[in-house]
Chains A and B, each alone.
Chain A
Amino acid sequence: MATITAPTSEKAAPPGILTHPATRKLLALAALAAVLVPLAVTQWGGATWPSALTVDVSEPLGRASDWIIDNRDSHPLFLYFFGHVSNIVVVAVRAVYLALLAVGWAGVTAIGALVAWRVAGVKLAAGTAAAFLACGLLGMWVPTMQTLALMVVAVLASVGVGALLGLAAGLSDRMDRVLRPVLDTMQVLPAFAYLLPVVLVFGIGVPAAVLATVVYAAPPMARLTSLGLRGADREVLEAVESLGTTARQRLLTARIPLARKELLLGVNQTIMMALSMAVIASVIGAGGLGDRVYQALASVDVGAALAAGIPIVLLAVVLDRVTGAAGERLGESGKSPVTWLYALVVAAAVALAGRLAGFLDWPDGWDLNIAEPVNRAVDWMTAHLYSGVPVVGGTADWAAHFTSWILNPLRDGLQWLPWWSVLLIVAALAWLIGTWRTALTAVLAMAAIGVLGVWDPSLDTLSQVLAAVAVTLVVGFATGIAAARGDRFERLLRPVLDVFQTMPQFVYLIPVVALFGVGRAPAVAAAVVYALPAVVRITAQGLRQVDPAAMESARSLGATSGQQLRQVQLPLARPALLLAVNQGVVLVLAVVIIGGLVGGGALGYQVVFGLAQGDLATGLVAGAAIVCLGLMLDRVTQPTERRTTKKGA
């Protein structure tokens, strides 16, 4: 990955080399290392993190967890605070769920379509109706409603919390300084890391699932709210101020309306992240569609997993498009409240008619069994591709080769490196690409992993991440370049990318095992599939946004197509490519962790183990190490100026 992103400016003239910022940074680091490394080596030699520098937290954590379980029904903290929080969540989810059931399937479909029609037009209305009907046809109506109920509550709470935080950060510079690093960090954390602490307090079930979702989905809303408030046009604000308005009036009449676009984008992001979490939260008893996917995986039933996964994808695509369209249409006026009233009346009428006609539950006979054909296809695939394919060998052989030629040497190499040199490499990479602050955060995060006593498993996870990122970038850049240069190819690619980005990660864990066996190779494969769409998208977008004038002049100079790409497009798109690397790393980490479910081992396995055995000491330490690893990887690949980016849903 270093070869792709290496700056081309190394051709600088020799006299200037000492003043080049990168060289200066490296020299400073080398000087620092020259002092510190001999000290560290004489004190604590060896490759792995010195045991003298670790802190064993398992005993206090174990005691804390026992204390919580024993006092959950008696201690005031639980009775008067967490108990009420949990109660409110249960009551709210239940209210929405009962309302959805009372409206019936015909009513829900009609209301969904009418709302989509009003905010986004006829085409999306038809799409929405079709999506709801498909959920019913797949035999997933009740689970879909359960997920929808949970989503409504979680999204409302996330938007509320996020907007409040964003408001605080947008209005006060001090709050902004405090919150920004926190929000930045939360956005790079894998969803799996959130589960354990919430379960610790609330136990398995819907309240824990909703709260974990809120923690995961609120940060983008907060970031975008703050961004919107800060980005408001100075001149407009001054004009409003000159009218003698109070601060509150200015906020309500000018700043918030001006930030509408960002606010809606925030809502959109929050919805997407909440949906992806709704599936992962099935591990802690969220119920609904995610639980169906999870149950299907237990019996290795890809077809059934897909039948529950498709409604999730449909919900995601519909919600994404409708909120997106609402954002684009914001400026337009001409929607009178009267048409809303009509829409409401029609919806109420349909719901009532459905009720009277007894169309509440989805009719029994109306479903489509897709599980069988899908399973047959998967069986065929694994039977014919697993091994013994002439010339190229089977997928099992690839996996074995990948493991023994790439993953094993990479892991062993990382674990062989002395611990201080790992810190040094991290510092160098982070400083070269960012500032001394990002370098310091990265080094501290890496050191924290050592202190927690999970140095070796973390390096194991790191080796999987590096291998997966390398594959993702090679494939992703190639596809992205192809998509940027061919309109037709991009049109073909778009729906595929949409589906892969919204498909719950759980769904492709089993086919991956069927193809690559158990171990680290399938974990890496799943991670590549998950991270690829975002990398392809960002690359294609970055290449397309290259100034047409620059391209034109290159062409007029007689550059060939390849030369244009190498010498003009790629260098000019460098920020986008760096962003793609950063996003790729973050997304890959999220799935490599989930790979613990298919034999990925290392940190992911420890989190799964902690959840499954209620062993918080193991789980929380691994979770904290994942957090540190995520932080380190993000800082090492983070360009100096971060933009607000889409984290793949």
Chain B
Amino acid sequence: MKHIALAAMLGLAAIAPAQAQTVVRHLHITSIPAEVELMNKIAADFMAQNPDIKVELPFLENEAFKAKLTTLLQSADAPDVFHSWGGGVFYEQAAAGVLRPIEDVLSDEAKANVGTAGVSAFTAPDGHLYGVARDVSEVVLWYNKTLFEQAGVDPASMETWDGFLAGVQAFKDAGITPIAIGAKDKWPAHFWWSKLVVRLAGQDGFAAAARGEGDGFAGEDFVKAGEYFLQLAALDPWQEGFLAAGYGDASGYFGDGNAAMHLMGDWDYGAMKDNSADKNGIPDEELGILPFPTIEGGKGDPTDTLGGLGGVLFSRNASDAAVKWIEFFNSTENQALYAKDAYYIPIAKGAADVMTNPFKVQIGQNISNAHWHALFFDQALGPNVGGVVNDVSAELAANAMSAEEAAEMIKEAVDDEL
């Protein structure tokens, strides 16, 4: 009996230092195995340097993450750090007091490392900084050079809207599906509406409509965006059965070389391969990026980009150790590892310099040269208005709703929120 007690005491003494560790739980949505491995490696490096901090990396799949986060953040089980996108939802979280302001904890160096755009994306309307930006993404028009040659379409001719429509018609005439789209998931359809709004209304027009000023989203530029979208839809440019196709289906359809174009984020470079039948997708030399067509008389700047700005937020209970971990995780040195393998385009200064993938390099340049980097509209406008934007976009793609009705529905949703 004595021995057991002694052994137990010794055992307790042995784990005592472990109990003194601060645990940092970082909830992420990374599902690509090699990328997860990289994240684990960075966490292991950090823990080796900081034996008093233990980093845990729980995972939730994207849709499950979105569905569970609201409850999770208000429970005792809230993670210290969690993945987030810039935009509407985060303001609600900040207003509800489930986040921790970190402007006093985060080093000036780390703030400088993400730049002004990175800081402002994670600053709530109350003026506090609640998170750290990690990556940027852009929606671009991917195209298949082989199919362009087959149909005799010159990519340069697609730079204006009229040229673009003519090109789409040329593909139709050649019996090639012009554009792949995953309209079942709706958000891929909303990229078309959003890009048209970026071109037609521009930054100021969009911001005014989002505030509900004047005619809001029922205004002229937004109705016009719907009309242009319908012009495209009238050509029936999408693959057969596009309303039953999710993003993955459309991505694979394009990756298999069945469609000439796909309007999608830079992440599709990898996803297109993963979703294709042979897992190789379109070889780099046959793949290209087109700028979204410009529209005459549009108020947007030609350099404007549409995309995302992702990062992490700190929950109410996050410790200083959590901030320390993120500073390490988001350092140029570690983010360069992600850049090297082209998982995403890091925002950390200089990290993207090591990118060798020509598409990612070009997208990185697009964003840094942009006059306005518009955040995905369905996220920038919050889940409710964003949901309506996605709905009407899918309707417009199917040529099943008038431009006026679409604009009116979005305006109503905004009014409902204000």
Q: Do chains A and B stick together as partners?
A: no
- Measured CB to CB, the residues of B under 8 A from A are none
